[in-house]
Structure formats: structure tokens, C-alpha cells
Structure 1
């Protein structure tokens, strides 16, 4: 993954949730560059997400942002 992100291995981060709790119904994991995407609300990262039934896994490219520019 570090090679695909073009970052040192020590800079690759992984975080996720297992589908428990009030806000999350399904399991997901975010793989990211700690320097380029320090939080889920900043930068680009990939997310692996399972289906609600757990029989499928989806991969997506995401952009985190909390600021609106020019509308």
C-alpha cells in the first residue's frame, strides 16, 4: 500500500470501525497517508466497506473536506 500511495511505510495509516455503535451499521476501514490526509475530513484516501450482510466488500476513493469554497 505504501508503494501505491508513494509514501514511506511508516506514513501509512489505517483506521476503521466494526459496525457497532449508534452511528455505524457496517464495517469500514480507511487507508491513508498520515501527512496528506491526517483526518477523515482532510485529503484523499481509500475506504474498504462491507455490505450490511457481510457478503461483499467495496473499495472507494474518498475526499474529506469541511470547508466550502465559492459556494
Structure 2
């Protein structure tokens, strides 16, 4: 399960360098899900909650960006 933690950390870190906002949020969501899986596997409820909030925030941001692009 540590593989999910490593992958998630790398994905979230790399997402900071992605210039396209849609792609950046997709990478954030993928990294967040990986870190959520790792957090569940180590049974740390605070990290599970933090990752859930992170994933929800990135998903809402992605939806907002897609909605703005569709109205243009």
C-alpha cells in the first residue's frame, strides 16, 4: 500500500507544475485518491478526512472550470 502513498505524493507534487487547469485538477484528484487509499490502509482517520476534503475541493474546482469553459 505504500506504493499508493508514493504515487499520490508524486502526482500531487507534479500537478503543481501542470499549466492547464483542467489537467492539473485531474492529476490532483488522481493523487488525492491514491493518498486516500494509503490513508485508509494505515488507518489514520485524520488523513482520510483531509484527503476526502482535498478530493472534493479539486472535483468542485474542476466542475467550475469546465462550466466556465462551456459558457464561453
Q: Aligning the two structures, in what range does the TM-score lie when normalised by the shorter sequence?
A: under 0.3
Q: Which protein is richer in helix relative to its size?
A: 2
- Length-normalised TM-score, structure 1: 0.25
Q: Which has the larger radius of gyration?
A: 1
